[in-house]
Structure 1
Amino acid sequence: MVLGIVISVGILSTALNLFEGYEHGLKSVLLDSFAHIRIEHINGKLLPDTLISSTLQELNSRPEIDSATPLLTTNLMASNGTKARGTIFNAYDVNIGSKVNYAKYVKEGTAQLDKGNIIVGTYLAKELGLSLGDTLKVFYPRLDKITPLGMYPVETPLIITGIYHSGFYEYDRTLIIGTLEDARILSGAKDGFSCLEIRLKNNYADDINLYAEEYDKIIDSNLVALPTTNTTLLRLVKMQKWLIFIVFFFLVIIAGINIISGISTQIYDKKNEIAVLKALGAPKSTIRHILGYQVTLLCLISIILGLILGFIASWLIVHQNIYQLKGEVYFIDKLALYIAPLNQILIFILAFILVFLCVQIPLRKIDKMQVIDLLRNP
């Protein structure tokens, strides 16, 4: 009985700790690695510097904005020998806008960029067999360089000076960050930007869609504000977390059924003692309390041990090196542990209520037990 409670509560606590860690890890990556809102031209054109400046002036007074930076982004083909894959080349202009956030995710090399240098995602580097100091060739088909033999791609060798790792698989697999000068050479865009990236402060990040709608009303009519963070995914993950909680709570219910059978057996084994107490005039409530308090205290200790077991099991799973999350399936590639006090309190309260009810059910049999029957059938 005790072992069943400890194991069931431990499994429930472990599942919730790991899923809470997954939710926080995914939320951190989505809200920290990406811009929350992008302001683009409604027709997909590049935004001229004058329009960027006027838009920044309109938004600078907004207290919820942490940073707003012009971005020139280009889809490229990157190759190393016979290996090639499609990538996204991002170039920021911090002279016009404000800070960028990618520097904190540069795990190898430097985040400082000069002409001819780039930062690449960690999985992109692995797939192409590259490391710091290697040269990556990028190709861009220029529409302004069409020959009788077809479109002429611009080929530029760039040196890898930094490795980017945010933990978000798709981003780490496709991202190249370079200088604005290199981006303009590759794309042929002499001026202008693809969009204006806006990041909100952390305490405003849950209302991205609302702020995007507000910005739509105050910016130029040729521009549109689009939320880029997938808040729907975060809501889905939260719903899945509580579904997992409900499913694993059935283990605690099964442990509660074992409590009923265990106490019923204990009552049968101690029917002689119960008969003596009844014959001496002990109230039924007193007899119930004698048995109930002992079992309830034991179950309470079992629940606490189960929570401790859940923490230990979660810690071991997070720090083991046998299995890691597959980024292409789970979006992030790292297990995380997060102990939410509210979750632990919720597990404790619900498990205790269930245990208390399961203890009371068999104790009601004592009220129906007659002294003469107990003494007749020892």
Structure 2
Amino acid sequence: MSFTWFMSMRYLRAREKQAFISLINLLATAGIAVGVMALIIVIAVVTGFESEMQKRMLGIESHVWVMRYGESITDIEATIKKIESVQGVQSASPFISTQVMLRSAHGVTGSMLKAYDPSHASPPIFVDDGSSLSQSLVAAIANESEGKAPGLIIGRVTAEKLAVGQGDPIYLIAPLGKGGKGNQMPMVMRFRVAGIFEIGMNEYDGFFSFVRLDVVQRLLEMPGQVNGFEVRVTDIYKAPQIADAIVRHLGFPFLARDWIQLHRNLFSMLKMQKIVMFIILTLIVLVAAFNIASALIMMVMEKTRDIAILKTMGATNRHIRKIFVFKGLVIGMVGTFIGGILGFLLCAILKRFPFIKLSGDVYFLTTLPVQLQASDVLVIGISTILICFMATLYPATSASSLEPVDGIRYG
């Protein structure tokens, strides 16, 4: 054990006349622990919000949308082959989307109707019976052959608004209809509820509904036509580059939009919120660091004679400075370790038992998401230790600048 480390550990031991200083050390350690714990929990929740929203959004939305300026697309299969030939593209699915009204015997609500071809890849959505979106759309074909109405898949929130369940009738009202500009009649078609999905976000569970592509083509009189293609890529963070590559490959008049571009404001807000919360909660650690500085200053005043004796015995200014720096760093590291363990345990409890419920209308999600990342914990730990180190510099420098003669005379 080195001389400076031995003296630092000795000064950490409490004596009766140093009880007040020891109390300050204990409060500083507790303050560091509370600050680190709060930082870990809050950053884990913000990271969980970002990750969970991204996962759920991309579960119902695509990574890239490919469309054509001002007109629908007719050469469907040829365009799909061209898109899927671009490096990084996993699959491409034709779709039609339009805003409609859904009406039941108990209510009316608006919805974004999206139509897919079950023979191509569909969004990874599962309905209440455990079957996927594609399987539910295919299963509806058998029922239609028996003379039943086409199947419509709606969200949990929509089902609650309309008070409908599996197999109940539901009417779809499309805003575009036959007739001239002054005599347009809405199209009305009878459907039945073929499935109810729930992804945990009210924005989607109460807004989207799904149906087979050929049904909507008949409803909107768009035979052999689609609005565009939903593309899924192998690396979601390379979606902008892949979208540009698709547009270059297809040429004008095609255009492409990626999920990062579409939701840029939302995820930028979440990242900014994470930074702001980190800065605000770091103030807790800063206050605890002031306690470390106060304890060291008081100890320097208490140990004036000891410092002078150590210097007369050959200790250099560097030795004295390191003694008090080590003492402050030990307090900071112990507090950081305790706070890290408490933060990790609380995050594990919140993740295992999601007992905190949220309003889906306000927070998008219905439960509190928690995701603890090693990089976040590392940044929090390094920042805390750095703050504690900065708090030790002034007391340690003051102790090292003490003259032995003055220390012995006035100590």
TM-score bracket for the superposition, by shorter chain length: 0.7 to 0.9
Q: 2:206 aligns with which of 166, 169, 173?
A: 173
Equivalent position SS for 1:369: coil
Contact 1:142 / 1:188 at 8 angstroms: preserved in 2? no
Contact 1:72 / 1:92 at 8 angstroms: preserved in 2? yes
Amino acid aligned to 2:86: R
What's the counterpart of residue 81 of structure 2? 57
Equivalent position SS for 1:366: helix
Residue 153 of structure 2 is aligned to residue 122 of structure 1: no
Deviation at 1:340, TM superposition (A): 1.5
Q: Find the aligned partners of 2:102 and 2:340 in 1 and give their Cα distance.
A: 49
Equivalent position SS for 1:221: coil
What's the counterpart of residue 9 of structure 2? none
Residue 95 of structure 2 is aligned to residue 71 of structure 1: yes
Contact 1:123 / 1:172 at 8 angstroms: preserved in 2? yes
State percent identity of aligned pairs: 23
Q: Find the aligned partners of 2:263 and 2:113 in 1 and give their Cα distance.
A: 25
What's the counterpart of residue 34 of structure 2? 7
What's the counterpart of residue 221 of structure 1? 252
Gaps of 5+ in 2: 1-27, 142-149
Q: Find the aligned partners of 2:176 and 2:49 in 1 and give their Cα distance.
A: 42
Q: Find the aligned partners of 1:82 and 1:284 in 2 and give their Cα distance.
A: 84
Q: How does 1:266-345 map to 2 (within 5 A)?
A: 266-278=299-311, 280=313, 282-318=315-351, 319-324=353-358, 326-345=359-378
What's the counterpart of residue 16 of structure 1? 43
Contact 1:141 / 1:154 at 8 angstroms: preserved in 2? no
Residue 376 of structure 2 is aligned to residue 354 of structure 1: no
Q: 2:228 aligns with which of 162, 171, 195?
A: 195
Higher share in strand: 1
Amino acid aligned to 1:16: I
Number of aligned residue pairs: give it.
367
What's the counterpart of residue 255 of structure 1? 288
For the structure 1 residues 100 and 268, does the alpha-carbon distance in structure 2 shift closer, same or farther, using more than 3 Å as the test? same
What's the counterpart of residue 72 of structure 2? 46
Equivalent position SS for 1:348: helix
Q: 1:90 aligns with which of 114, 123, 128?
A: 114
Q: 2:241 aligns with which of 210, 218, 221?
A: 210
Contact 1:275 / 1:375 at 8 angstroms: preserved in 2? yes
Contact 1:74 / 1:183 at 8 angstroms: preserved in 2? no
Equivalent position SS for 2:178: strand
Instruction: Give the TM-score taking structure 2 as reference length.
Output: 0.79
For the structure 1 residues 295 and 142, does the alpha-carbon distance in structure 2 shift closer, same or farther, using more than 3 Å as the test? closer
For the structure 1 residues 222 and 364, does the alpha-carbon distance in structure 2 shift closer, same or farther, using more than 3 Å as the test? closer
Deviation at 1:6, TM superposition (A): 0.6
For the structure 1 residues 164 and 371, does the alpha-carbon distance in structure 2 shift closer, same or farther, using more than 3 Å as the test? same
For the structure 1 residues 145 and 231, does the alpha-carbon distance in structure 2 shift closer, same or farther, using more than 3 Å as the test? closer
Equivalent position SS for 1:102: coil
Q: Find the aligned partners of 1:66 and 1:242 in 2 and give their Cα distance.
A: 34
Amino acid aligned to 1:158: R
Contact 1:7 / 1:306 at 8 angstroms: preserved in 2? yes
For the structure 1 residues 377 and 81, does the alpha-carbon distance in structure 2 shift closer, same or farther, using more than 3 Å as the test? farther
Deviation at 1:152, TM superposition (A): 5.0
For the structure 1 residues 320 and 222, does the alpha-carbon distance in structure 2 shift closer, same or farther, using more than 3 Å as the test? closer
Gaps of 5+ in 1: none
What's the counterpart of residue 110 of structure 1? 131
Instruction: Give the TM-score taking structure 1 as reference length.
Output: 0.85
Contact 1:121 / 1:164 at 8 angstroms: preserved in 2? yes
Root mean square deviation of aligned Cα:
2.8
For the structure 1 residues 152 and 352, does the alpha-carbon distance in structure 2 shift closer, same or farther, using more than 3 Å as the test? closer
